[in-house]
Amino acid sequence: MEHHNIEEAKKVVFKGLILLGIITIVEVLIALLGNGHLVHGFSMPKWIMYPLMIGMSLYKAYFIIYEFMHMRYEVKGLVYSVLLPTMLLIWAIIAFFNEGNHWKHNRKVVQDRDRIEAGALPVSAPSATESDASGHNQ
Amino acid sequence: MDTAVVGAHATENDQNLWEGGKSPFRASYGKLMMWYFLLSDAFTFAGFLIAYGALRFSSPTWPVPDFVFSSLPGGVHGAPLIFVTIMTFVLIASSVTMVRAVQEGQRENRRGVVFWMGMTILGGLAFLGCQAWEWTTLIKTENMSVSVNPFGKHTSDGQYLEDAHGHPYSASQEAETFTAGQSYLIHKDHDSGDWIQRKYQTTDGQVLQQEFGPKAFGALFFFITGFHGFHVFSGVVFLLIIMINAASGLYAARKNGYEMVEKIGLYWHFVDLVWVFVFLVFYLL
Protein backbone atom coordinates (compact mmCIF):
# COMPACT_ATOMS: atom_id res chain seq x y z
CA MET A 1 0.00 0.00 0.00
CA GLU A 2 2.79 2.44 0.81
CA HIS A 3 5.88 3.24 -1.18
CA HIS A 4 8.71 0.76 -0.86
CA ASN A 5 11.30 2.94 0.74
CA ILE A 6 11.66 6.49 1.90
CA GLU A 7 14.08 7.55 -0.85
CA GLU A 8 11.65 6.45 -3.55
CA ALA A 9 8.82 8.16 -1.70
CA LYS A 10 10.75 11.43 -1.48
CA LYS A 11 11.39 11.26 -5.21
CA VAL A 12 7.66 10.98 -5.91
CA VAL A 13 7.01 14.03 -3.75
CA PHE A 14 9.69 16.07 -5.52
CA LYS A 15 8.32 15.02 -8.89
CA GLY A 16 4.86 16.17 -7.77
CA LEU A 17 6.14 19.58 -6.74
CA ILE A 18 7.91 20.13 -10.08
CA LEU A 19 4.98 18.81 -12.11
CA LEU A 20 2.32 20.94 -10.40
CA GLY A 21 4.58 23.99 -10.53
CA ILE A 22 5.28 23.62 -14.24
CA ILE A 23 1.63 23.04 -15.13
CA THR A 24 0.65 26.16 -13.18
CA ILE A 25 3.30 28.24 -14.95
CA VAL A 26 2.16 26.96 -18.34
CA GLU A 27 -1.46 27.77 -17.48
CA VAL A 28 -0.57 31.33 -16.51
CA LEU A 29 1.60 31.71 -19.63
CA ILE A 30 -1.31 30.60 -21.82
CA ALA A 31 -3.59 33.09 -20.07
CA LEU A 32 -1.11 35.97 -20.48
CA LEU A 33 -0.01 35.06 -24.02
CA GLY A 34 -3.57 34.37 -25.14
CA ASN A 35 -4.81 37.70 -23.83
CA GLY A 36 -2.00 39.53 -25.59
CA HIS A 37 0.13 40.57 -22.59
CA LEU A 38 3.40 38.92 -23.59
CA VAL A 39 3.88 39.34 -27.33
CA HIS A 40 2.63 42.59 -28.76
CA GLY A 41 -0.21 42.07 -31.21
CA PHE A 42 -0.49 38.34 -30.54
CA SER A 43 -3.51 36.75 -28.92
CA MET A 44 -5.26 33.40 -28.98
CA PRO A 45 -8.95 32.68 -29.48
CA LYS A 46 -10.81 31.58 -26.35
CA TRP A 47 -11.79 28.24 -27.84
CA ILE A 48 -8.13 27.24 -27.89
CA MET A 49 -7.17 28.76 -24.50
CA TYR A 50 -10.11 27.50 -22.45
CA PRO A 51 -9.93 23.77 -23.25
CA LEU A 52 -6.15 23.84 -22.68
CA MET A 53 -6.44 25.52 -19.27
CA ILE A 54 -9.41 23.38 -18.18
CA GLY A 55 -7.60 20.23 -19.31
CA MET A 56 -4.46 21.12 -17.37
CA SER A 57 -6.46 21.96 -14.24
CA LEU A 58 -8.26 18.62 -14.44
CA TYR A 59 -4.89 16.90 -14.74
CA LYS A 60 -3.65 18.74 -11.63
CA ALA A 61 -6.80 17.61 -9.80
CA TYR A 62 -6.20 14.01 -10.92
CA PHE A 63 -2.59 14.17 -9.75
CA ILE A 64 -3.47 15.61 -6.34
CA ILE A 65 -6.19 13.01 -5.75
CA TYR A 66 -4.29 9.98 -7.04
CA GLU A 67 -0.76 10.71 -5.80
CA PHE A 68 -0.99 13.14 -2.88
CA MET A 69 -4.23 11.75 -1.45
CA HIS A 70 -3.15 8.17 -2.28
CA MET A 71 -6.33 7.30 -4.14
CA ARG A 72 -4.18 5.10 -6.39
CA TYR A 73 -3.63 2.72 -3.49
CA GLU A 74 -7.26 2.48 -2.33
CA VAL A 75 -9.72 -0.35 -2.96
CA LYS A 76 -11.88 0.02 -6.08
CA GLY A 77 -15.12 0.28 -4.11
CA LEU A 78 -13.82 3.26 -2.16
CA VAL A 79 -12.51 4.96 -5.31
CA TYR A 80 -15.84 4.58 -7.13
CA SER A 81 -17.96 5.62 -4.14
CA VAL A 82 -16.01 8.89 -3.90
CA LEU A 83 -15.38 9.70 -7.55
CA LEU A 84 -18.52 8.53 -9.37
CA PRO A 85 -20.96 10.85 -7.54
CA THR A 86 -18.99 13.84 -8.84
CA MET A 87 -20.16 12.88 -12.34
CA LEU A 88 -23.51 14.43 -11.37
CA LEU A 89 -21.74 17.77 -11.68
CA ILE A 90 -21.43 17.32 -15.45
CA TRP A 91 -25.17 17.69 -15.77
CA ALA A 92 -25.26 20.53 -13.23
CA ILE A 93 -22.72 22.44 -15.33
CA ILE A 94 -24.61 21.90 -18.60
CA ALA A 95 -27.98 22.77 -17.06
CA PHE A 96 -26.97 25.88 -15.13
CA PHE A 97 -24.76 27.37 -17.84
CA ASN A 98 -27.59 26.87 -20.29
CA GLU A 99 -29.93 28.56 -17.83
CA GLY A 100 -27.51 31.47 -17.45
CA ASN A 101 -27.43 31.86 -21.21
CA HIS A 102 -31.23 32.07 -21.27
CA TRP A 103 -31.19 34.80 -18.60
CA LYS A 104 -28.90 36.79 -20.83
CA HIS A 105 -31.18 36.53 -23.84
CA ASN A 106 -34.33 37.21 -21.82
CA ARG A 107 -33.04 40.16 -19.78
CA LYS A 108 -35.41 42.53 -21.50
CA VAL A 109 -38.42 40.32 -20.93
CA VAL A 110 -37.57 39.97 -17.25
CA GLN A 111 -37.01 43.71 -16.79
CA ASP A 112 -40.26 44.56 -18.57
CA ARG A 113 -42.10 42.14 -16.35
CA ASP A 114 -40.50 43.74 -13.29
CA ARG A 115 -41.80 47.11 -14.43
CA ILE A 116 -45.33 45.76 -14.88
CA GLU A 117 -45.26 44.30 -11.39
CA ALA A 118 -44.02 47.62 -10.06
CA GLY A 119 -47.15 49.22 -11.52
CA ALA A 120 -45.64 50.90 -14.54
CA LEU A 121 -46.23 50.20 -18.20
CA PRO A 122 -43.73 48.14 -20.11
CA VAL A 123 -41.34 50.40 -21.94
CA SER A 124 -40.36 49.24 -25.38
CA ALA A 125 -37.19 51.24 -25.09
CA PRO A 126 -34.71 51.52 -27.93
CA SER A 127 -31.01 50.88 -27.61
CA ALA A 128 -30.47 53.88 -25.33
CA THR A 129 -31.53 51.86 -22.30
CA GLU A 130 -29.58 48.83 -23.40
CA SER A 131 -26.91 49.52 -20.81
CA ASP A 132 -29.63 49.93 -18.19
CA ALA A 133 -31.14 46.62 -19.15
CA SER A 134 -27.89 44.86 -18.48
CA GLY A 135 -28.30 45.53 -14.79
CA HIS A 136 -25.08 47.47 -14.32
CA ASN A 137 -26.74 50.53 -12.97
CA GLN A 138 -26.06 51.43 -9.43
CA MET B 1 -26.38 -22.72 3.39
CA ASP B 2 -24.00 -22.40 0.49
CA THR B 3 -22.45 -19.23 1.77
CA ALA B 4 -21.42 -20.86 5.02
CA VAL B 5 -19.54 -23.51 3.08
CA VAL B 6 -17.95 -20.91 0.82
CA GLY B 7 -17.07 -18.75 3.80
CA ALA B 8 -15.28 -21.67 5.38
CA HIS B 9 -12.62 -22.02 2.72
CA ALA B 10 -12.69 -18.95 0.51
CA THR B 11 -11.00 -15.98 2.11
CA GLU B 12 -10.93 -13.14 -0.36
CA ASN B 13 -13.99 -13.37 -2.58
CA ASP B 14 -16.39 -10.49 -2.90
CA GLN B 15 -19.30 -12.12 -1.14
CA ASN B 16 -17.77 -12.77 2.22
CA LEU B 17 -15.96 -9.46 2.05
CA TRP B 18 -19.31 -7.85 2.81
CA GLU B 19 -20.44 -10.33 5.47
CA GLY B 20 -18.87 -8.37 8.26
CA GLY B 21 -15.83 -8.85 10.39
CA LYS B 22 -13.46 -7.09 8.00
CA SER B 23 -13.28 -3.73 6.33
CA PRO B 24 -14.33 -4.06 2.66
CA PHE B 25 -12.71 -0.75 1.69
CA ARG B 26 -9.56 -1.52 3.71
CA ALA B 27 -9.81 1.91 5.26
CA SER B 28 -10.59 2.90 8.82
CA TYR B 29 -13.91 4.48 9.68
CA GLY B 30 -12.30 7.87 10.26
CA LYS B 31 -10.49 7.93 6.94
CA LEU B 32 -13.55 6.77 5.03
CA MET B 33 -15.69 9.47 6.63
CA MET B 34 -13.05 12.07 5.80
CA TRP B 35 -13.35 11.03 2.15
CA TYR B 36 -17.14 11.37 2.26
CA PHE B 37 -16.94 14.72 4.04
CA LEU B 38 -14.60 15.91 1.31
CA LEU B 39 -17.03 14.62 -1.33
CA SER B 40 -19.85 16.65 0.20
CA ASP B 41 -17.58 19.67 0.50
CA ALA B 42 -16.65 19.26 -3.17
CA PHE B 43 -20.35 19.56 -4.01
CA THR B 44 -20.63 22.74 -1.96
CA PHE B 45 -17.71 24.35 -3.77
CA ALA B 46 -18.93 23.05 -7.12
CA GLY B 47 -22.31 24.64 -6.41
CA PHE B 48 -20.66 28.02 -5.78
CA LEU B 49 -18.44 27.81 -8.83
CA ILE B 50 -21.33 26.72 -11.06
CA ALA B 51 -23.36 29.66 -9.73
CA TYR B 52 -20.44 31.89 -10.76
CA GLY B 53 -20.51 30.31 -14.23
CA ALA B 54 -24.27 30.70 -14.61
CA LEU B 55 -24.18 34.37 -13.58
CA ARG B 56 -21.22 35.02 -15.83
CA PHE B 57 -23.11 33.44 -18.75
CA SER B 58 -26.13 35.59 -17.94
CA SER B 59 -24.18 38.84 -18.03
CA PRO B 60 -23.47 40.78 -21.25
CA THR B 61 -20.03 41.80 -19.96
CA TRP B 62 -17.74 40.42 -17.28
CA PRO B 63 -14.60 41.86 -15.65
CA VAL B 64 -11.38 40.61 -17.24
CA PRO B 65 -9.31 38.78 -14.58
CA ASP B 66 -5.92 39.92 -15.82
CA PHE B 67 -7.13 43.50 -15.48
CA VAL B 68 -8.76 43.05 -12.06
CA PHE B 69 -5.93 41.05 -10.48
CA SER B 70 -2.86 42.93 -11.64
CA SER B 71 -1.41 44.54 -8.50
CA LEU B 72 1.61 43.51 -6.52
CA PRO B 73 2.72 44.58 -3.03
CA GLY B 74 4.78 47.76 -3.11
CA GLY B 75 2.41 49.69 -5.34
CA VAL B 76 3.18 47.77 -8.54
CA HIS B 77 0.35 47.75 -11.07
CA GLY B 78 -0.01 46.15 -14.47
CA ALA B 79 1.44 42.79 -13.42
CA PRO B 80 -1.45 40.53 -14.38
CA LEU B 81 -1.92 37.29 -12.41
CA ILE B 82 1.60 37.33 -10.95
CA PHE B 83 0.48 37.63 -7.33
CA VAL B 84 -2.12 34.84 -7.53
CA THR B 85 0.46 32.62 -9.21
CA ILE B 86 2.71 33.12 -6.20
CA MET B 87 -0.24 32.29 -3.92
CA THR B 88 -0.80 29.10 -5.91
CA PHE B 89 2.85 28.09 -5.50
CA VAL B 90 2.64 28.68 -1.77
CA LEU B 91 -0.36 26.37 -1.50
CA ILE B 92 1.22 23.68 -3.73
CA ALA B 93 4.39 23.82 -1.62
CA SER B 94 2.38 23.39 1.59
CA SER B 95 0.61 20.41 0.02
CA VAL B 96 3.98 18.85 -0.77
CA THR B 97 5.28 19.34 2.78
CA MET B 98 2.05 17.70 4.00
CA VAL B 99 2.81 14.61 1.89
CA ARG B 100 6.21 14.46 3.60
CA ALA B 101 4.55 14.71 7.04
CA VAL B 102 2.27 11.76 6.21
CA GLN B 103 5.26 9.72 4.99
CA GLU B 104 7.21 10.42 8.16
CA GLY B 105 4.09 9.40 10.13
CA GLN B 106 4.04 6.05 8.36
CA ARG B 107 7.66 5.58 9.39
CA GLU B 108 6.68 6.48 12.97
CA ASN B 109 9.22 9.28 12.94
CA ARG B 110 7.87 11.80 15.45
CA ARG B 111 10.39 14.56 14.77
CA GLY B 112 9.85 14.30 11.02
CA VAL B 113 6.09 14.58 11.43
CA VAL B 114 6.33 17.64 13.63
CA PHE B 115 8.86 19.36 11.35
CA TRP B 116 6.92 18.84 8.12
CA MET B 117 3.58 19.72 9.72
CA GLY B 118 5.19 22.92 10.96
CA MET B 119 6.28 23.72 7.39
CA THR B 120 2.75 23.04 6.19
CA ILE B 121 1.32 25.42 8.78
CA LEU B 122 3.76 28.11 7.67
CA GLY B 123 2.62 27.60 4.08
CA GLY B 124 -1.02 27.88 5.11
CA LEU B 125 -0.35 31.09 7.06
CA ALA B 126 1.60 32.54 4.13
CA PHE B 127 -1.32 31.81 1.83
CA LEU B 128 -3.76 33.49 4.23
CA GLY B 129 -1.45 36.49 4.44
CA CYS B 130 -1.41 36.77 0.64
CA GLN B 131 -5.16 36.55 0.55
CA ALA B 132 -5.50 39.24 3.21
CA TRP B 133 -3.32 41.55 1.10
CA GLU B 134 -5.32 40.76 -2.05
CA TRP B 135 -8.63 41.51 -0.31
CA THR B 136 -7.29 44.69 1.25
CA THR B 137 -6.15 45.96 -2.14
CA LEU B 138 -9.49 45.22 -3.75
CA ILE B 139 -11.51 46.76 -0.91
CA LYS B 140 -9.35 49.74 0.09
CA THR B 141 -7.57 50.77 -3.10
CA GLU B 142 -9.93 49.61 -5.82
CA ASN B 143 -13.19 50.10 -3.88
CA MET B 144 -14.77 46.77 -4.74
CA SER B 145 -17.40 45.43 -2.33
CA VAL B 146 -20.01 42.70 -2.27
CA SER B 147 -22.52 45.05 -3.89
CA VAL B 148 -20.35 47.45 -5.92
CA ASN B 149 -18.13 46.35 -8.79
CA PRO B 150 -16.13 49.25 -10.25
CA PHE B 151 -14.50 47.01 -12.91
CA GLY B 152 -16.22 47.63 -16.23
CA LYS B 153 -15.56 46.89 -19.87
CA HIS B 154 -16.15 48.95 -23.01
CA THR B 155 -18.43 47.39 -25.57
CA SER B 156 -17.48 49.70 -28.46
CA ASP B 157 -14.62 51.90 -29.70
CA GLY B 158 -14.59 55.58 -28.80
CA GLN B 159 -12.86 58.36 -26.92
CA TYR B 160 -13.22 59.98 -23.51
CA LEU B 161 -14.70 63.46 -23.10
CA GLU B 162 -13.29 63.89 -19.58
CA ASP B 163 -9.91 63.32 -17.97
CA ALA B 164 -9.24 60.81 -15.19
CA HIS B 165 -10.54 63.27 -12.58
CA GLY B 166 -13.86 63.74 -14.34
CA HIS B 167 -13.12 67.25 -15.65
CA PRO B 168 -13.84 68.06 -19.30
CA TYR B 169 -10.71 68.14 -21.44
CA SER B 170 -9.23 71.55 -22.07
CA ALA B 171 -8.44 72.55 -25.63
CA SER B 172 -4.74 71.71 -25.30
CA GLN B 173 -5.32 68.18 -23.97
CA GLU B 174 -5.54 65.20 -26.27
CA ALA B 175 -8.52 62.93 -25.58
CA GLU B 176 -7.84 59.38 -24.42
CA THR B 177 -9.22 56.75 -26.79
CA PHE B 178 -10.32 53.17 -26.14
CA THR B 179 -11.34 50.09 -28.10
CA ALA B 180 -14.13 47.57 -27.62
CA GLY B 181 -13.31 45.01 -24.95
CA GLN B 182 -10.96 47.35 -23.09
CA SER B 183 -11.36 47.29 -19.30
CA TYR B 184 -11.63 50.27 -17.00
CA LEU B 185 -11.74 50.88 -13.25
CA ILE B 186 -14.06 53.54 -11.91
CA HIS B 187 -12.15 55.54 -9.29
CA LYS B 188 -13.40 57.55 -6.36
CA ASP B 189 -12.64 61.22 -6.01
CA HIS B 190 -10.03 61.66 -3.26
CA ASP B 191 -11.68 64.66 -1.65
CA SER B 192 -15.42 64.17 -2.06
CA GLY B 193 -15.45 60.36 -2.17
CA ASP B 194 -17.81 60.46 -5.14
CA TRP B 195 -17.50 57.98 -7.98
CA ILE B 196 -15.95 59.42 -11.14
CA GLN B 197 -17.89 57.88 -14.02
CA ARG B 198 -16.13 59.46 -17.00
CA LYS B 199 -18.19 60.56 -20.01
CA TYR B 200 -17.19 59.24 -23.40
CA GLN B 201 -18.31 59.26 -26.99
CA THR B 202 -18.50 56.09 -29.07
CA THR B 203 -17.43 56.10 -32.71
CA ASP B 204 -21.07 56.09 -33.81
CA GLY B 205 -21.65 59.31 -31.91
CA GLN B 206 -23.41 58.24 -28.73
CA VAL B 207 -22.42 60.12 -25.56
CA LEU B 208 -22.41 57.76 -22.57
CA GLN B 209 -20.71 57.47 -19.20
CA GLN B 210 -18.75 54.63 -17.60
CA GLU B 211 -21.12 52.03 -16.16
CA PHE B 212 -20.32 49.79 -13.19
CA GLY B 213 -19.52 46.16 -13.98
CA PRO B 214 -21.89 43.30 -13.14
CA LYS B 215 -22.73 43.48 -9.43
CA ALA B 216 -22.54 39.76 -8.88
CA PHE B 217 -18.77 39.72 -9.46
CA GLY B 218 -17.83 41.24 -6.10
CA ALA B 219 -20.22 39.08 -4.10
CA LEU B 220 -19.07 35.91 -5.86
CA PHE B 221 -15.40 36.77 -5.49
CA PHE B 222 -15.50 37.59 -1.78
CA PHE B 223 -17.84 34.75 -0.94
CA ILE B 224 -16.05 31.97 -2.83
CA THR B 225 -12.45 32.96 -2.09
CA GLY B 226 -13.56 33.74 1.47
CA PHE B 227 -15.09 30.30 1.87
CA HIS B 228 -11.89 28.76 0.56
CA GLY B 229 -9.81 30.96 2.84
CA PHE B 230 -11.96 29.85 5.77
CA HIS B 231 -11.15 26.24 4.84
CA VAL B 232 -7.45 27.11 4.83
CA PHE B 233 -7.82 28.80 8.20
CA SER B 234 -9.62 25.83 9.81
CA GLY B 235 -7.03 23.57 8.22
CA VAL B 236 -4.24 25.53 9.90
CA VAL B 237 -6.02 25.26 13.27
CA PHE B 238 -6.45 21.48 12.93
CA LEU B 239 -2.87 21.07 11.70
CA LEU B 240 -1.68 22.95 14.76
CA ILE B 241 -3.69 20.75 17.14
CA ILE B 242 -2.49 17.55 15.50
CA MET B 243 1.10 18.77 15.37
CA ILE B 244 1.01 19.46 19.12
CA ASN B 245 -0.50 16.02 19.74
CA ALA B 246 2.20 14.41 17.61
CA ALA B 247 4.92 16.34 19.42
CA SER B 248 3.55 15.25 22.78
CA GLY B 249 3.92 11.62 21.76
CA LEU B 250 0.19 10.90 21.79
CA TYR B 251 0.20 9.09 18.44
CA ALA B 252 3.25 7.01 19.26
CA ALA B 253 1.16 5.39 21.98
CA ARG B 254 -1.89 4.81 19.78
CA LYS B 255 -2.86 1.55 18.09
CA ASN B 256 -3.44 3.21 14.73
CA GLY B 257 -0.28 5.30 14.94
CA TYR B 258 -0.18 8.55 13.00
CA GLU B 259 -3.50 8.09 11.21
CA MET B 260 -4.71 11.51 12.36
CA VAL B 261 -1.88 12.99 10.29
CA GLU B 262 -3.15 11.09 7.25
CA LYS B 263 -6.68 12.37 7.82
CA ILE B 264 -5.73 16.02 8.15
CA GLY B 265 -3.45 15.40 5.15
CA LEU B 266 -6.47 14.38 3.06
CA TYR B 267 -8.26 17.55 4.13
CA TRP B 268 -5.26 19.74 3.37
CA HIS B 269 -4.81 18.28 -0.12
CA PHE B 270 -8.49 18.86 -0.72
CA VAL B 271 -8.07 22.55 0.10
CA ASP B 272 -5.29 22.65 -2.51
CA LEU B 273 -7.55 20.78 -4.94
CA VAL B 274 -10.33 23.33 -4.52
CA TRP B 275 -7.84 26.12 -5.12
CA VAL B 276 -6.94 24.53 -8.48
CA PHE B 277 -10.52 25.17 -9.58
CA VAL B 278 -10.93 28.55 -7.87
CA PHE B 279 -7.71 29.61 -9.62
CA LEU B 280 -9.03 28.31 -12.95
CA VAL B 281 -12.45 29.91 -12.69
CA PHE B 282 -11.59 33.29 -11.17
CA TYR B 283 -8.15 34.03 -12.54
CA LEU B 284 -7.54 32.05 -15.72
CA LEU B 285 -10.82 31.86 -17.62
- Model pLDDT for residues B143-152, shown as the tens digit of each residue: 999 999 999 8
Tell me whether B213 touches chain A (CB under 8 Å). Answer: yes
CB < 8 Å to B269, chain A = 64-65, 68-69
**Residue A81, domain member (yes or no):** yes
Q: Is-contact B60 B230, C-beta < 8 A?
A: no
**Burial bucket for residue B102 (CB in 10 Å: 0-12, 13-18, 19+):** buried
Q: Are residues A20 and A66 in the same domain?
A: yes
Q: Is-contact B257 B251, C-beta < 8 A?
A: yes
Q: Check: pTM over 0.80? Answer yes or no.
A: yes
**Residue A66, domain member (yes or no):** yes
Q: Are residues A65 and A42 in the same domain?
A: yes
Give the number of other Cβ atoms within 10 Å of residue B69's Cβ: 21
- Per-residue pLDDT at A91: 95
Domain tally, chain A: 2
| Mean pLDDT computed over B176-190 | 86
Would you call A137 helix, strand, or coil by DSSP?
coil
**Residue A127, domain member (yes or no):** no
**Residue A17, domain member (yes or no):** yes
All domains of chain B in start order, with CATH:
29-147+216-284 (1.20.120.80), 150-212 (2.60.40)
Q: Are residues A58 and A25 in the same domain?
A: yes
| Mean pLDDT computed over B58-65 | 89
User: Are A136 and B215 an interchain contact pair (Cβ–Cβ within 8 Å)?
Assistant: yes
**Closest by Cα among A110, A104, A33 to B62:** A104
Tell me whether B211 touches chain A (CB under 8 Å). Answer: yes
pLDDT digits (tens, 9 = 90+) for A109-128: 888 887 777 766 555 555 44
User: Are A31 and B212 an interchain contact pair (Cβ–Cβ within 8 Å)?
Assistant: no
Q: Which residue from A6, A24, A61 is facing B85, i.e. has the nearest CB? A: A24
Q: Are strands B183-185 and B151-153 parallel, antiparallel or unpaired?
A: antiparallel
pLDDT digits (tens, 9 = 90+) for B86-97: 999 999 999 999
B46 min Cα distance to partner chain A (Å): 8
The answer for residues whose C-beta is within 8 angstroms of residue B268's C-beta and 6 or more apart is B94, B95, B98, B120, B124, B235, B239
- Per-residue pLDDT at B192: 82
In chain A, whose CA is at the least distance from the CA of B14?
A: A77
Q: Is-contact B263 B241, C-beta < 8 A?
A: no
pLDDT digits (tens, 9 = 90+) for B246-267: 999 898 888 888 999 999 999 9
- Per-residue pLDDT at B33: 95
Give the domain extent around A32: 1-73
